[in-house]
A and B are shown apart, each in its own frame.
Chain A
């Protein structure tokens, strides 16, 4: 049930901000400070999410196969690999390290 509540709230919220962009007068969201903040918000969230999902096991921080997989993904990104390749590299390397008992 909790999952459905989360899905409902997220769907409504995300649709509302999409629609708001099309409906509100441009001036409100075009202020430089608001634009800067809106551009930096996803940077902060994505960085925190990447770190947590790499190093967190519940509420404990751990260093396991995922860290190796993500390091490999970072290398793939530096080599300008396409999106799906980056994700595949992370998955395969993580699985490989686990298979070797890491």
Chain B
């Protein structure tokens, strides 16, 4: 319970960073709040406003955000088994299937604990994330030029902080490296928002190369 509230509060406060980034990217306060209410998965929200700010079309920008959100489906599989929800409850629970609720819920030893962890983290995070988005967006509007305050560095810093714990093995480092090269190299050539989608191909390509190497070394 205390873990769940701790995570909910700590991460919920970073909604300020989203509100500020979103407003700095040219979205209105209402649009920023709509994203936090309806999308409610941080990385996708940051990716979307970043892509829109860079001049990406709505569908291209949404595609990048969507692919970042795909990991939530895999959380749902694990959570679905542990929460054992009835069919009626699942559509409501789905909105809260994100990094933080999954991390807290999976760490609980009992089904009751899993359910409490999921609900408390989800509720505290949802309330705070939306409140702080509103405050951040209002604050950014009051500040005027957010670049003077260095707030355009908040978005990439969020991505870096999310990325760091995911990169552990050589395969992950290779994927990140190839993705950076593709993302930067194709930027001047392709329409805004598209290079990120092409960079996502680093994942299957590196996996394929690593698989071939692995099977070669294993003599199979």
Whether B77 and A45, one on each chain, are in contact in the complex, defined by CB atoms closer than 8 angstroms, is no
Tell me the smallest distance from the CB of A57 to a CB of chain B, in Å. 9
**A65 contacts across to B, CB distance below 8 A:** 150, 153
A21 is contacted by which of B41, B58, B97, B172 (Cβ under 8 Å)? B97
Tell me the smallest distance from the CB of B23 to a CB of chain A, in Å. 12
**B13 contacts across to A, CB distance below 8 A:** 84
Q: Taking CB as reference atom, which chain B residue is nearest A57?
A: B54
Bound CA–CA A77/B157 (angstroms) = 10
Tell me the smallest distance from the CB of A89 to a CB of chain B, in Å. 8
Interface of A is mostly: helix
Q: Which of A9-65 contact B (CB under 8 A)?
A: 9-11, 13-15, 17-24, 26, 29-30, 33, 35-56, 58-61, 65
**B178 contacts across to A, CB distance below 8 A:** 44
Give the interface residue-count category, chain B: 35 or more
A52 is contacted by which of B66, B94, B160, B183 (Cβ under 8 Å)? B183
**A30 contacts across to B, CB distance below 8 A:** 77
Whether A90 and B207, one on each chain, are in contact in the complex, defined by CB atoms closer than 8 angstroms, is no
Tell me the smallest distance from the CB of A40 to a CB of chain B, in Å. 4
Whether B31 and A7, one on each chain, are in contact in the complex, defined by CB atoms closer than 8 angstroms, is yes
Bound CA–CA A44/B64 (angstroms) = 11
**A95 contacts across to B, CB distance below 8 A:** 148-151
Binds A, one of B43-51, B104-112, B123-131: B43-51
Whether A40 and B172, one on each chain, are in contact in the complex, defined by CB atoms closer than 8 angstroms, is yes
**A33 contacts across to B, CB distance below 8 A:** 207
- A sample of 13 cross-chain residue pairs with beta-carbon separation below 8 angstroms, ordered by A number, consists of A9-B59, A13-B66, A15-B95, A41-B70, A43-B167, A47-B183, A48-B180, A52-B195, A59-B187, A73-B160, A86-B157, A91-B149, A98-B148
